[in-house]
Amino acid sequence: MKLLQKNLLAGAAFALLGIIGCASPQGTREDYFGYNNKPVIEEEKPEATQPQAETAPQEKKWRNPLSDNSRTAHVYYEPVFVPVTAPWWDRYYGWEDYHHSRVVVMYPHHRVRYYDWDYANYPYYGGYPYYDRYPNYDRFPYNNYPDSREVEPVAAKKTSRGFGSSRGTINRDSEKDTRGSNNSGWKVRGRDGNVTTPTPEKPNESTSSSSSSRSRGSVGVTPRGGSSTEKKETTTTQTNTSKKSDSGAKKSEPAKSETKKETTNKVRGRGE
């Protein structure tokens, strides 16, 4: 059955090609595909049924079409648009992009004036609200002033990845923590069975309260501030141990509490 389907499909494809190919080719393969630096593009010929009005002799005298009583319809001439220059006092302000393209100058009293040929040269118009269409004509409503407040750009934090098909090296800046800007689920599970919160690289500021106590085989989980934290920087209290080495930390002496910026990471207890 599958073979039949395949054969049918192939047959249909070739039949289609045949039909397309035989669809009135007028010429040789050289005409269609040959190396030709001067191909002839066939232009569409005007059909014989076209009205002959255009080809009518031009020397014929003009005659008022209304005087021809035999005609039942009159020729409709397409309107022709020509550029028109309107004087400045007679311009229509409804639809042009005129207002948006010119320089706007703000004055301390928040009045808007345009420095353009029509106003710059005739400052006395600017002083009269009823001439400069403000505010009487509602061209520039009060709430439409240019907003001069500075807006802080939303800068997306960049992160780095550390793998790929490498050919070179770049220096690592391990002091800089780039995690967390867009992190969706950082998890660290220690082999010792305790919970840690990953933080920037500073061994002497290790935030891992329990990873330091590397007693193997322990299963206890010591959550610190919950199992996950918010992505945004938050302030949490952490226990600092292990100033010099894990051996010190092994003593498990909760030293002191320090305030530290938490990163975005989720923390999970270890399962062996």
Partner 1 sequence: MKNLLKTSLLKHTLIYGIALFAASSAQAQFIEDGLRLSQSNGYITPRAGGLGVAYHGVSDDFAALYYNPAGLSLLGKNEVTVGLGFMRNATETNFLQNETPFQVNSTIVSHAGFSAPFKINGKNAAISIGYALENNYDNIVKIDGFNRTSSIIPGLPSPTLPEADLRTAGLGGFVNEKFVTPLRDSLQQTATIQESGGLHTVTGGAGFDLTDWVSAGFALTAKGGQYNYSRRYTETDIYNKYKTLDDVNYTDIDFRSLDIRNELTQDIEGVSATLGVQGKIDKFMRIGVTVKTPTFYQIKETFSTDLTATFDNDATGNITTGEETTAYNFTTPFIFGAGLSFNALGMTFTAGAEYNDVTQMQFSDATPEVTDLNLKAKEELNGQTTWGVGVEYEVPLAPIIVRASYTAITSPYKEDIAGADARIVALGGGIYLAPNVRLDGLFRWTDVSQLRANYGNGSGSQFIMQQRPLNIALQLTYRY
In a 13 Å sphere around the CA of 211, the CA atoms on its Cβ side amount to: 20
Measuring CA to CA, which residue among 87, 147, 85 is closest to residue 112? 147
Please give the residues from 179 up to 238 whose contact with partner 1 meets the rule CB under 8 A: 179, 181-192, 196, 198-204, 206-208, 211, 214, 216-217
According to DSSP, the residues that pair with 235 across neighbouring strands are: 261
When binding is defined by CB under 8 A, the residue of 36, 121, 136, 144 that contacts partner 1 is 36
Closest CB to partner 1 among 3 and 170?
170
In angstroms, give the least distance from the CB of 152 to partner 1: 18
Please give the residues from 146 up to 185 whose contact with partner 1 meets the rule CB under 8 A: 156, 158-174, 176-179, 181-185
Measuring CA to CA, which residue among 226, 218, 207 is closest to residue 267? 226
Closest CB to partner 1 among 39 and 254?
39
The answer to whether residue 37 forms part of the interface with partner 1 (CB under 8 A) is yes
In angstroms, give the least distance from the CB of 105 to partner 1: 33
Part in contact with partner 1 (CB under 8 A); list of ranges 55-63, 92-100, 117-125, 263-271:
263-271
Closest CB to partner 1 among 21 and 51?
21
Closest CB to partner 1 among 144 and 181?
181
Closest CB to partner 1 among 126 and 213?
213
Give the binding-site size for partner 1 (rule: CB under 8 A). 82
Q: Cα–Cα distances in Å, from 187 out to 15, 122, 232, 265? A: 61, 70, 16, 7
Q: Which residue has the tokens 């800068």?
A: 155
For the chain, the farthest-separated pair of C-alpha atoms sits apart, in whole angstroms, at: 118
Ramachandran category for residue 10: left, alpha or beta (phi over 0 → left; psi -120 to 50 → alpha): alpha
Part in contact with partner 1 (CB under 8 A); list of ranges 16-24, 78-86, 112-120, 130-138:
16-24
Question: CB–CB of 245/227 below 8 Å?
Answer: no
In angstroms, give the least distance from the CB of 64 to partner 1: 38
Closest CB to partner 1 among 113 and 270?
270
Question: CB–CB of 224/252 below 8 Å?
Answer: no
Torsion angles phi and psi, residue 64, rounded to 5: -60, 120
- Tell me the C-alpha distance between 6 and 16, whole Å: 15
Please give the residues from 39 up to 68 whose contact with partner 1 meets the rule CB under 8 A: 39-41, 43
